[in-house]
Amino acid sequence: MSPFRVTPVFDAVDGDGPYFSPDRRRVLDGAERARLVSYLTDAPLVVRAHGLEPDPLDPSAGRVVPIGFQTDGVWIWQEAAAYYLRRYGIAPEDDLVAHIEAAGYSAPTQLPREVLDAAADAALGPAGPAPSDVRRDLRYFANVTSGRPADDPGGLLRQWHQTWHTGDDVRVDQICDPGLRWRSTGAFVANARNGEHDFVEIPQRLAARVLDRWWAEEHTDVR
């Protein structure tokens, strides 16, 4: 088994192309975004790839996405991770962000040659098994109260199920807060009692598009 964790760039793909899951955090804070970008770009390059690829989220931009691989000796990621974070605010997966935070946002700039060689082999080798996820039946909802359309809702919510070590099955209700973070909410339970809001289930892709638009509205200067 590889000692490295290799993280993919995108989370899913459909008929419209690849996209980032609504699970993936959109980083609003510019200082945090800059620290994360710095870590991702400062780590050693283990696979150097010449040329650039088109940005599937903005084909009109041309070939702008770098395609090499980098590592800090534990994680491996594509150079594209920093591009999408800088351009769209898309954070790496949560476990990698936690790893970067634990390292004080300071990436190693040099690693032993044997580590770099092993990382290059891992980057170009077959993908390992995806990490297990305790969440099941993940569903997204748009708050369309007062006639708001699902693609421009008054809020985003989600539900998922988790099985505890006791065997109990628990439903988790969350809402996307103004900082674009998911947090616990009693909105579903309250709405079942008073019917104040109109929540409609939406596809994951649409939830992702809503989050991307909300981020872009806060960062119209990012290009």
Does residue 180 share a domain with residue 103?
A: no
The helix/strand count (H/E) of the chain reads as 6, 13
On whether residue 131 sits in a domain, the answer given is no
> Which domain range does residue 68 map to?
5-124
Alpha helix stretches (DSSP H) within the chain:
30-42, 80-88, 94-102, 113-124, 187-194, 204-218
Q: Which of 41-50, 148-157, 158-167 has the lowest mean pLDDT?
A: 158-167
Given 89, 124, 159, the domain boundary residue is: 124
Whether residues 158 and 119 share a domain: the answer is no
In this structure, the answer to whether residues 14 and 112 fall within a common structural domain is yes
CA-to-CA dists, residue 195 to 25, 145, 154, angstroms: 30, 10, 16
The model's confidence at residue 129, banded by pLDDT at 50, 70 and 90, is low
* Confidence band for 201, pLDDT divided at 50, 70 and 90: very high
User: Beta strand pairing status for 5-6 and 75-78?
Assistant: parallel
pTM above 0.85, yes or no: yes
Q: Count structural domains, the chain.
A: 2
Q: Does residue 129 form part of some domain?
A: no
- Beta strands, E only, 1-59: 5-6, 12-14, 17-19, 45-47, 53-54
Report yes or no on 104 lying in a domain: yes
| Max Cα-Cα span within the chain | 63
Which residue has 């955090």 as its token pair?
A: 25
Asked if residue 130 lies in contact with residue 156, where contact means CB atoms within 8 angstroms, the answer is no
95 and 187 co-located in one domain: no
Summarize pLDDT for 159-198 with one digit per residue, the tens.
999 887 777 888 999 999 999 999 999 999 999 999 999 9
The pLDDT tens digits of the residues spanning 4-41 come to: 999 999 999 998 899 999 999 999 999 999 999 999 99
Predicted local confidence at residue 85, as pLDDT: 97
